[in-house]
Amino acid sequence: MTDQFAVSAAPRPTVEVASSPHRFPVRRIYCVGRNYPEHAREMGMGDDRAPPFFFMKPADAVIASGSDVPCPPRTANLHHEIELVVALGAGGRSIPMDSALTRVFGYAVGNDLTRRDLQLAAKEQGRPWDTAKGFDHAAPITPIVPVARSGHPVKGRIWLEVNGTLKQQGDLADMIWSVPEIIAELSTWFGLEAGDLIFTGTPAGVGPLVAGDRVRGGVEGIGVLEHRVVAQ
Ligand code: MN
């Protein structure tokens, strides 16, 4: 088996499962582009119910809460985006909304780290977002809380502090697209599978991070994400 691959094979990225010896194997990371009215407005977009749009991060962008997150190169404007993350325990295609929640394994808190300067330039030039969203360590995440313990959160405070100062605050009840709606829509574009993570969008108050900053953010009933930002 050791000579099965032509080059060394990277291990599958995983995320801790809260109070469990088992880890969650990450297959794909999907992200919702705009899902809170206040944040849509601060980014210069409408806050209507235009269908959600999606982008992706590589699976190995996950980095555990408590880690030092290296500041990515070639940005002068790294931003935080605190988000509720859905972890799928099963998948499917064109999943009906009324059964979408049966696919959820659990929930976590994540930071959709963004090179905002590159994202704004990409939008202007009609270029892809990969360098803005899909860089190394771009997805700090807490342990996943299984649904049996978390339930399916539909309201609750979502917040983020930088160096102890509150920067982002909202409520899950303000999400433009609910978790079942996101899963149903996403599954019309992609075949979803166990191991997929979905970052569900961020509330208003996104802003810059620099090396030395301490980030702390959470979702009521799910967990608290903590990480530092350190020089490369
Ligand atoms: Mn985001």
How many independent structural domains does the chain possess?
1
pLDDT digits (tens, 9 = 90+) for 128-153: 999 999 999 999 999 999 999 999 99
Mean pLDDT of 177-193: 98
38 within domain boundaries: yes
76 within domain boundaries: yes
pTM exceeding 0.75? yes
Determine the distance separating the centroid of ligand 1 and the alpha carbon of 213, expressed in angstroms: 19
Q: Domain containing 108 — which CATH number?
A: 3.90.850.10
| Distance (Å) from CA 96 to ligand 1 centroid | 24
The answer as to whether 8 is a domain residue is: no
In angstroms, what is the span from residue 182 Cα to ligand 1's centroid? 14
| Domain annotation covers residue 7 | no
Output the CA 110–ligand 1 centroid distance in Å: 9
- d(CA 225, ligand 1 centre) in Å: 15
- pLDDT, mean over the chain: 96
pLDDT reading at 48 higher than 90 = no
Question: Is residue 201 included in any domain, yes or no?
Answer: yes
Residue 189 resides in a domain: yes
Q: Which domain holds residue 221?
A: 14-230
In a domain, 2, yes or no: no
Q: Judge whether residue 226 has pLDDT over 60.
A: yes
| Number of C-beta neighbours around residue 90 at 10 A | 14
Q: Note whether residue 4 is domain-resident.
A: no
Q: What band does 2 get if pLDDT is binned at 50, 70 and 90?
A: low
Q: Cβ contacts of residue 197 below 8 Å, gap of 6+?
A: 15, 26, 28, 29, 30, 62, 85, 86, 87, 88, 108, 110, 139, 141
- Give one DSSP letter per residue of 93-142, joined into a string: SS--GGGGGGGEEEEEEEE--EEHHHHHHHHHHT--SHHHH-STT-EEEP
Res 50: pLDDT: 83
- Using CA atoms of 57, 58, 62, 68 in order, give the dihedral in degrees to the nearest 10: -90
